[in-house]
Amino acid sequence: MTNLITVSNLVKRYNGTAVLDGVSLSVPAGCVTGFIGANGAGKTTTIRMIMGLSKPDAGDVVLLGEPFGPNADDATARRIKSRIGVVFDTCPFVGDLPVKTAGALMRAAFPESWRQGIFEDLLKQFDLDPKKRVKDLSRGMGMKLQLACALAHDPDLLVLDEATAGLDPLARDEILDLLRNFMASEQRGILISSHITTDLEKIADRVVCIDKGRIAFDVEKDEITDLAGVAHCRTAEFERVRESDLFAGAAPKNLRRAMSVDVLVPDRFGFAKRFPNIACDRATIDDYLQLMLEG
């Protein structure tokens, strides 16, 4: 399977402090990769490195099969960027510009691939007034404007940084449906960072977590939501669970609560057969994240 994004051992330091420390991840064609982590963990810095907006101190970025970075020549940068749609966590357009002028700027930037009809259809779908100024848009509407611009030049890859932030649940579902339609082609891919992990449970194929500038885990989403579980043990039960062979010799990730010990179980079905009297719930991405980082 061809990777649309390949990031290898990225390192970035600010004032001698490593913000990224050997970050590696990939987005294969046909895959939606969710990128999660706490504020300040390195998500946006990684995305800036991928997009060539900031230069890494070490490591490599390959986009759409070509090495890419701030030093890429103009022809390479234009060719690669014309195939990528980007939504940042804040709207980048000048505040005094009308919405339709933001579209005109994008049309000038992507003269060969821009589809004006798609842009206008998305403005109607998002209820975006073409005459309204960017600075008068809410955060959520600014995100919708960016997404309309990103989709209107027919990209092969979407890079979305908190693209559903600031949207109500109905609007988020509308955006997710658009992204599903975008992924109808198996040659396309999405990298999406988000704090709203329930959105990733609906759309992601893979989940990558960054913590303090390092990749904490990189797993198929189904391994979390379809297979993993959280067992709620009494202290005595936890000792039996910990000594079992269900964890391949590793110490199980666990968090002690007031009345129980929560244990991250890699296979909740196998766990239920071994310990039928211990409650074991399906794991969410939030559960998995908390236990992996804090357990």
In 3D space, the residue among 242, 247, 244, 264 whose CA is nearest the CA of residue 255 turns out to be: 264
The per-residue pLDDT for 286 is: 96
Rounded to whole angstroms, the Cα distance separating 141 from 123 reads: 10
Which is it for the CA torsion 148, 152, 153, 155, positive or negative?
positive
Place of tokens 């357009």: 93
pLDDT per residue, tens digit, the chain (295 aa), is 599 999 999 999 988 888 999 999 999 999 999 999 998 899 999 999 999 988 999 999 999 999 988 778 888 888 899 999 999 888 889 999 999 999 999 999 999 899 999 999 999 999 999 999 999 998 889 989 999 999 999 999 999 998 888 788 988 998 999 999 999 989 999 999 999 999 999 999 999 999 999 999 999 999 999 999 999 999 889 999 998 888 887 889 999 988 889 999 999 999 999 999 999 999 999 999 999 999 8
Give the Cα-Cα-Cα angle 85, 200, 161 (nearest 5 degrees): 35
270: tokens are 């196998």
Question: Taking the model in full, what pTM does it have?
Answer: 0.93
Quote the pLDDT of residue 215.
Answer: 97
Paired sense of beta strands 32-36 and 17-28, if any:
unpaired
Q: In the prediction, which pLDDT does 117 show?
A: 95
Q: Which pLDDT does position 1 carry in this prediction? A: 57
| Beta strands across the sheet bearing 261-265 | 254-256, 261-265, 229-233, 280-282
User: Which residues are paired to 28 by β-bridges?
Assistant: 3
What's residue 214's pLDDT?
97
